[in-house]
Amino acid sequence: TQVLRKGLQRGVVLSAGSFLVYEAHKLISGFAEVHASFKVEDVIEQADYLYGSGETEKLYRLLVQHKNSDDAELLWRLARSSRDLAQLGSTSAEEKKQLTYDSLEYAKKALEINESNFAAHKWYGICLSDVGDYEGIKTKIGNAIIIKEHFQRAIELNPKDATTIHLIGIWCYSFAEMPWYQRKIAATLFATPPTSTFQEALRYFHMAEEADPNFYSKNLLFLGRTYLKLNNKKMALLWLSKAKEYPAQTEEDKQV
């Protein structure tokens, strides 16, 4: 009886010990998961700071370490960062091409992970358009509807995002000024080729400005250019002057 009692007591002790080990494991695992999520948040916070500071190369070096991540927020930022690095004057032609294709892959992966991420749609559309520059005018025009669909989906998910509204304006502007030979290519690719007008483009550029005033030098530039296309020189001068006075922070601002 004493042996049985000791055995039972020992069993209880072992069971309690096993339970405590199990609970400790759960606690540590939970902490690891929370710690991992905090790490992702920390990287995103640091990335957004570097982006706001115009630190293109540092931002890319930070994010490219996470290219195998399964976090859509990290991946679309990496797509944007890769594209921004490709735009730098110091980037060689070969590196620029590689970065352009890489950025499309990162944006595509972000979309596969989270189809409801508006920024993933936006950057997928942008990067797909960039890749078209290497694959010829037929491919670029052929992708046009897909690109616009992703921009429209991004606006559905985030109606206040001024950049995406601006991008649809650029899409409209491009088709409004499309030369005749490109229209012929479009006619061979689509039963009903996509078309647009400068008035439609202007409407989107103004909508973008209303959503976030003075948010982007290129939106100011295209407001001016579109008014020129519409022969309104007074309004063109107003917006081109704003574009000229815009404080240049990025390579694109300098080009504008």
What are the tokens at 148? 């616009």
What are the tokens at 135? 């694959």
Query: Does pLDDT of 170 surpass 50?
Result: yes
Contacts of 8 (CB under 8 A, 6+ apart): none
Q: Is 166 exposed, middle or buried (0-12, 13-18, 19+ CB in 10 A)?
A: buried
Distance CA 52, CA 40 (A): 18
Domain chopping of the chain, boundaries: 35-216
Distance CA 142, CA 19 (A): 62
Output DSSP code: residue 191.
Answer: S
Distance CA 171, CA 196 (A): 8
Q: What share of the chain is helix, strand, coil (3-state, %, to 5)?
A: 80, 0, 20
Task: Summarize pLDDT for 147-165 with one digit per residue, the tens.
Answer: 999 999 999 999 999 999 9
pTM of the model: 0.78
Task: Summarize pLDDT for 26-59 with one digit per residue, the tens.
Answer: 444 444 444 444 588 999 999 999 998 889 999 9
Distance CA 183, CA 194 (A): 9
For domain 35-216, give the CATH number: 1.25.40.10
Query: Does pLDDT of 10 surpass 50?
Result: no
Average pLDDT of the chain to the nearest whole number: 86
